[in-house]
Structure 1
Amino acid sequence: MVANRSLAFVLCLLIAGCAGSEKSKRADAVAMPAAKVIQADLDEYEPRVREAIKGSHFELVRQENVLVVTAPVLGTFNPDRPHMLLPVTLGPISRIAKLLERDKSIGVLVLGHADSSGAAALNRELSHERARAFTAIFRLSGLRQDRLMVKGVGSDMPRADNNSAAGRALNRRVEIILTSQDTMQALLAKYSQPALPAAAVVAKRTVDADQAK
């Protein structure tokens, strides 16, 4: 199985501190809160997020000091207008947004993903538009800009093999990554730096660890 590179990338930034260029080393100066503090916050927050997405086709994964809500494109967006949300998805997204509105300590990173079909530039643009569809609801709920980051990464971070239809469907998704407000501020500084090679290293380590089991 291909490792979830987007999650590996985020974990690399949050946990490992990702080595990179001199510019990225300056971003490393941003202090990260202690992981145990973040985990304690998310221990309380996780069941509330699970309740918010209950009955939907969204998935929630807890990984170290982040919560990742994944929304597959299929069943979330209008097939005829690929960046427009279907009405059935507004409920769970709005419930997550209400939780975020009440809990000022949580920061949000929304990542849009595409498969490798078609032109890379178009995939990146479409993935960004899909991510923005989510953040539009968050902003309407009152989530401030300093707590919210959005990015379309196109096909750069697949979670499955693009050589199969099933794999491509898994890769077309939007991820809502939730972590503490303090950690998100550090993540915002780090995310602007070129760290994809480090993410690839983390992904390889994950695959190697799985194979060693």
Structure 2
Amino acid sequence: MKTRIPLLLASAGLIAISACTTTDPYGNSTDAGGVGGLNRTQTGALAGAAIGGILGATRDSDKNDQGRDAARGALIGAALGGGIGAILDRQQKSLQQSLNNPNIQVVNHGSYLSVTMPESTLFATDSAAVGAQGQNDLYTIARNLQQYPDSTIQVVGHTDSTGSAAYNQDLSERRARSVAGILSAGGVAQNRLSTAGRGASQPVASNETVAGRAQNRRVQILITPTR
């Protein structure tokens, strides 16, 4: 019974956290901005407490007083989760203040930040060469990433569905590498960077309209704290 109670409480916390994530019509997860009006730091603490409670209850080697161990795990998890949430809050605010391009979206998902840059900000049609304005924006992002060094960065390229799947995959990969290359040139350590191309496989809007296709042609910079 002692084990059941902390596990049930931790599971309830995880269910509450998952309620802040929804799926759009295109199969992509979207974040609803926290749990019950909580800010990111509070949501991070809640997530950490839930996970810490589970670990404390299930990783007890002596099997004595698992309720106590779950509580200790929850406290440690809450501190770690709250710290990550606070860092992401600050980094998001700093990025939004330094970027002068309203077309760039910076979203805090609670455990990572996503910076979404549309094709029009970075590239000419069918090109993987970053234009002057896009380079300026990427150097701004690179400065921010240097100020917050404890994270990994994945650069992900996306296209619309026009053209063959092979062409779109190749273009998305080349665009991701181009963006990562500029971040590296801006001072971001290469061992923090990785790239991926998704082609047209992860649309955020309908490819049946001009506006929808424009939204799908984008590059995402995903920033995940390492501690």
Q: TM-score with structure 2 length normalisation?
A: 0.63
Q: Which structure 2 segments of 5+ residues have no match?
A: 1-23, 32-46, 48-76
Deviation at 1:35, TM superposition (A): 3.7
Cα distance between partner residues in 1 of 2:191 and 2:152: 8
Larger radius of gyration: 2
Match of 2:167 in 1: 122
Task: Decide whether aligned partners of structure 1 residues 147 and 41 sit closer, same or farther in structure 2, where only a CA change above 3 A counts.
Answer: same
Q: Which structure 1 segments of 5+ residues have no match?
A: 9-14, 16-32, 183-213
RCO higher in 1 or 2 (8 Å CA, sep ≥ 6)?
1
Contact 1:52-1:92 within 8 A present in 2 as well? no
Match of 1:210 in 2: none
Give, as a single letter, the amino acid of the residue that structure 2 aligns with 1:42: L
Answer with 141-150 or 120-129: which moved more: 141-150
Task: Decide whether aligned partners of structure 1 residues 36 and 55 sit closer, same or farther in structure 2, where only a CA change above 3 A counts.
Answer: same
Deviations 1:89-111 (A, max 9, x none): 11111011011123211221111
Cα distance between partner residues in 1 of 2:172 and 2:30: 16
Deviation at 1:37, TM superposition (A): 3.1
Cα distance between partner residues in 2 of 1:84 and 1:120: 20
Matched, 1:53 2:99: yes
Contact 2:154-2:194 within 8 A present in 1 as well? yes
Deviation at 1:56, TM superposition (A): 4.7
Deviation at 1:121, TM superposition (A): 1.1
**Which residue, out of 85, 92, 102, partners 2:147?**
102
Contact 1:115-1:169 within 8 A present in 2 as well? yes
Give, as a single letter, the amino acid of the residue that structure 2 aligns with 1:74: S
User: Where does structure 1 differ by over 6 angstroms across 4 or more consecutive aligned residues?
Assistant: none
Match of 2:70 in 1: none
Match of 1:29 in 2: none
Task: Decide whether aligned partners of structure 1 residues 4 and 56 sit closer, same or farther in structure 2, where only a CA change above 3 A counts.
Answer: farther
**Which residue, out of 166, 176, 180, partners 1:131?**
176
Contact 1:111-1:151 within 8 A present in 2 as well? yes
Match of 1:151 in 2: 196
Identical pairs, percent: 30
Cα distance between partner residues in 2 of 1:160 and 1:36: 33
**Which residue, out of 76, 84, 87, partners 2:122?**
76
RMSD: 2.2
Deviation at 1:76, TM superposition (A): 2.0
Cα distance between partner residues in 1 of 2:82 and 2:136: 32
Cα distance between partner residues in 2 of 1:4 and 1:64: 20
Cα distance between partner residues in 1 of 2:106 and 2:207: 23
Cα distance between partner residues in 2 of 1:46 and 1:109: 16
**Matched residue pairs, number?**
158
Give, as a single letter, the amino acid of the residue that structure 2 aligns with 1:171: N
Aligned ranges for residues 188-203 of structure 1 at < 5 Å?
none
